[in-house]
């Protein structure tokens, strides 16, 4: 079962990369001239009332011209390990918007499907987050913090390429 889920996650990741590379003429800049690196990998740690979480994510920017150039659409795939009084693990398939500004500070909204792995049943299969994000337009560093489900109150760090 685990190898099937890993294989499925790998195929989805390859599909996302392939689909978004079909449009090489699309510019990474939005209307305000803010340009972002299209790929990011980051880790996250969170704390809830009776549990802690550890997550990793791969994120791909798929559109840089939403809401008249003030937002960027992204897809994210990852995994979250949950420990404490409630334990378990789930995968993450999310989509979201990054509300951009000329400064390196941005607002991030995301939501998606979080299928469960293992035998726990008290977590919902959907999730989302509302976060502050520090990312320079051509920078290689990402810093995020916010609230979400199943991560609860979280902080993340990673890099772009």
CA 73, chain centre distance (Å): 11
34 and 59 Cβ atoms separated by less than 8 Å: no
Two structure tokens written together for 38:
């299209």
Q: What's the CATH code of the domain at 129? A: 2.40.160.20
Give the pLDDT confidence score for residue 57 in this predicted structure.
Answer: 94
Look at the block and give the residue holding tokens 């989805």: 12
pLDDT at 151: 84
The domain tally of the chain equals 1
Q: Which residues pair with 93 in a beta bridge?
A: 77, 113
Residue pLDDT, tens place only, 85-132: 767 788 889 889 888 877 888 999 999 998 877 666 567 788 899 999
Q: What is the pLDDT of residues 22-54, one digit of tens each?
A: 444 444 454 455 578 899 999 999 998 888 999
What is the pLDDT confidence band of residue 83, given thresholds at 50, 70 and 90? confident
Return the sign of the alpha-carbon dihedral for residues 20, 21, 24, 28. positive
- How much is the pTM? 0.75
What is the pLDDT, as a whole number, of residue 82? 84
- Write b or e for each residue in 79-99: b if 16 or more Cβ atoms lie within 10 A of its Cβ, otherwise e: bbebeeeeebbbbbbbebbbe
Identify the pLDDT of residue 3: 61
Residue 78's contacts (CB-CB under 8 Å, 6 or more residues apart) are 55, 56, 57, 58, 91, 92
In terms of Cβ atoms closer than 10 Å to its own Cβ (0-12, 13-18, 19+), residue 107 is middle
Domain that holds residue 135: 2-160
Q: Identify the top-confidence range among 9-13, 64-68, 119-123, 126-130.
A: 126-130
């Amino acid at each position: 079962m685990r190898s099937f889920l890993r294989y499925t996650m790998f195929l989805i990741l390859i599909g996302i990369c392939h689909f978004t590379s079909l449009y090489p003429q699309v510019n990474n800049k939005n209307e305000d001239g803010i340009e972002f690196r299209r790929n990011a990998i980051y880790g996250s740690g969170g704390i809830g009332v009776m549990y802690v979480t550890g997550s990793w994510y791969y994120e791909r920017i798929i559109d840089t011209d939403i809401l008249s150039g003030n937002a960027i659409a992204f897809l994210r795939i990852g995994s979250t390990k949950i420990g404490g009084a409630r334990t378990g693990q789930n995968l993450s398939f999310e989509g979201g918007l990054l509300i951009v500004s000329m400064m390196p500070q941005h607002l991030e909204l995301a939501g998606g499907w979080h299928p469960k792995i293992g035998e726990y049943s008290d977590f919902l299969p959907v999730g989302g987050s509302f976060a502050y994000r520090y990312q320079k337009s051509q920078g290689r560093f990402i810093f995020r913090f916010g609230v979400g489900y199943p991560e609860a109150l979280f902080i993340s760090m990673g890099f772009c390429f």
